[in-house]
C-alpha cells in the first residue's frame, strides 16, 4: 500500500469525486457526486458531509454536480468554482458569501488551501427543465496545502501541453487525472500527461463507473512504461484512501 507520508488523506468516492483531509484537518470534496453516484460506497454518503469545509467544482456535467445542492444544504461548506457558474448557484438560492467564483490562472485561499484554477479541455452543460444550460467553463485545480504538499486535479480533460507548464510552475507531488476514455483521456494519453507533469504519484479517476469508461489503472501503468514515465500509480478502488 502506497503511503504519502504528508499528513493528507485522499479518498476516492468513485468517478470524479474525491474527499481530502488536509494536514490541518480541513475536509474538502472535489466534485460532489455522492448520493446518486453508482460507484460511491454507501457509508460515504453520510461521511462525505461530516464537517465539510469546501467543495471544489471542476465543471457542470450531471456526474459532477447532481448532488451538489443537497450537500450544500447539509453543510456549511464554501463552494469553489469557475466564475461563470456562480449565477446558476445563486439561482438555486446559494448565498453569495458561500461561493468562491474565480477564473483560470487565479489563486484563492479556501479552507487553508492555496488553490489555483487551471485549464481543462472539455465541456460544461446541464440538462435541466428540458433545456441545455451553459455551466461555465471546465477547469482543474492545483491545491497547495500548508505543509507544501501539492495536488493537481486536472478536471475532465484530454491531454494538453498546458500540463507541462503546470508541472514546471507548481511541481505537483500528486496528480489526479481521468483515464476512462470516451469522454476524457484514455490511459495512454494520461501516461503522456504524466510525462509532461512529472509528479511522484498519480491516481486515475473517471473510470469504471459505466461500461463505456474502459480505462484502468493497470492500463495506465502499462502506458507509463511506453513513455518511460516513473510516476508511481496508486490504483485506488471506490472507497479506498491513500495517506
Q: What does the pLDDT look like over 152-177, one tens digit per residue?
A: 999 999 999 999 999 999 999 999 99
**Multiple choice CATH, 9-236, 3.60.15.10, 3.30.43.10, 3.40.50.150, 2.30.30.240:** 3.60.15.10
What phi and psi values does residue 53 have, to the nearest 5 degrees? -100, -35
The tens digit of pLDDT for each residue in 71-112 reads 999 999 999 999 999 999 999 999 999 999 999 999 999 999
State residue 1's pLDDT score. Answer: 59
Q: Work out the number of other CB atoms within 10 angstroms of the CB of residue 109.
A: 10
List the grid coordinates of 112. 487553508
Determine the Cα–Cα distance for residues 159 and 173; give it in Å rounded to an integer.
18
Q: How many alpha carbons fall within 13 Å on the CB side of residue 7? A: 10
Residue 169: is it exposed, middle or buried by C-beta count within 10 angstroms (0-12/13-18/19+)? exposed
| Whether the model pTM is above 0.85 | yes
More confident residue, 5 or 118: 118
Confidence of residue 2 (pLDDT cuts 50, 70, 90): confident
pLDDT of residue 98: 98
Residue 32 has pLDDT above 70, yes or no: yes
Q: How far apart are CA 159 and CA 185, in angstroms?
A: 6
Res 212 pLDDT > 80:
yes
pLDDT of residue 5: 86
User: What Cα–Cα distance (Å) separates residue 176 from each residue in 73, 99, 112, 135, 141?
Assistant: 27, 24, 20, 22, 10
How far is Cα 57 from Cα 164, in angstroms, rounded to an integer?
23
Amino acid at each position: 500500500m502506497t503511503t504519502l507520508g504528508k499528513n493528507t488523506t485522499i479518498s476516492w468516492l468513485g468517478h470524479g469525486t474525491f474527499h481530502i483531509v488536509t494536514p490541518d484537518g480541513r475536509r474538502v470534496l472535489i466534485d460532489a457526486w455522492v448520493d446518486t453516484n453508482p460507484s460511491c460506497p454507501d457509508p460515504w454518503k453520510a461521511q462525505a458531509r461530516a464537517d465539510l469545509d469546501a467543495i471544489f467544482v471542476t465543471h457542470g456535467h450531471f456526474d459532477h454536480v447532481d448532488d451538489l445542492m443537497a450537500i450544500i444544504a447539509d453543510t456549511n461548506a464554501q463552494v469553489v468554482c469557475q466564475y461563470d457558474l456562480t449565477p446558476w448557484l445563486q439561482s438555486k438560492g446559494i448565498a453569495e458569501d458561500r461561493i468562491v467564483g474565480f477564473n483560470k490562472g487565479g489563486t484563492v485561499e479556501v479552507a487553508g488551501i492555496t488553490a489555483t484554477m487551471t485549464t481543462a479541455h472539455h465541456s460544461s452543460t446541464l440538462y435541466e427543465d428540458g433545456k441545455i444550460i451553459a455551466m461555465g467553463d471546465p477547469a482543474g485545480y492545483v491545491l497547495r496545502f500548508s505543509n507544501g504538499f501539492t495536488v493537481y486535479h486536472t478536471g475532465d480533460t484530454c491531454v494538453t501541453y498546458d500540463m507541462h507548464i503546470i508541472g514546471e510552475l507548481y511541481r505537483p507531488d500528486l496528480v489526479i487525472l481521468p483515464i476512462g476514455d470516451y469522454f476524457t483521456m484514455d490511459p495512454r494519453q494520461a501516461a503522456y500527461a504524466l510525462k509532461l507533469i512529472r509528479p511522484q504519484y498519480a491516481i486515475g479517476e473517471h473510470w469504471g463507473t459505466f461500461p463505456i469508461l474502459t480505462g484502468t489503472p493497470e492500463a495506465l501503468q502499462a502506458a507509463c512504461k511506453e513513455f518511460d514515465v516513473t510516476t508511481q500509480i496508486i490504483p485506488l478502488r471506490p472507497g479506498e484512501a491513500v495517506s
